[in-house]
Amino acid sequence: MVETLSGGPVAVTCHCGACELRVTLADGLNSARRCDCSFCRRRGAAAVTAPKGGVEVVKGADRMTLYQFGTKTAQHYFCSVCGIYMYHRRRRTRTSSA
C-alpha cells in the first residue's frame, strides 16, 4: 500500500501490514525503470530510486527476511509473514540504495 505520492516521503506497507517503510524517492516516479537482473526479470516489477538513506524501516524490521543470490552483494528484503518484496540495496556502489 502507498499512502501518498506528493513529492515528500512515501509510506509503503506490505500486504499484511507487518512491515512499513518511509521512502523518499530521488526523482519521484520519473526514475521508474525495469531492472534486467535474473531476479527482477522474473518478478516483472518496476523499480524506483531512493537516495542513500532514503529508505527507513518504520515497522517490522524483525519481520523482514534477506534474500541474496549470485555474488551475494545485492540485498533483497521481503516480509516474512506475507512474502511481499519490500526493497533492495543494489550490488553497485552508487549514491542510491533502492
Res 95: pLDDT: 46
On whether residue 5 sits in a domain, the answer given is no
| Side-chain-side CA neighbours of residue 48 (13 Å) | 15
**pLDDT tens for residues 42-87?**
877 778 888 888 999 999 999 999 999 889 998 999 999 999 999 9
CATH code for the domain in which residue 52 is found: 2.170.150.70
On whether residue 4 sits in a domain, the answer given is no
Q: How many domains does the chain have?
A: 1
On whether residue 47 sits in a domain, the answer given is yes
On whether residue 76 sits in a domain, the answer given is yes
On whether residue 43 sits in a domain, the answer given is yes
On whether residue 72 sits in a domain, the answer given is yes
Q: What are residue 88's DSSP bridge partners?
A: 76
On whether residue 98 sits in a domain, the answer given is no
Report the mean per-residue pLDDT for the chain. 83
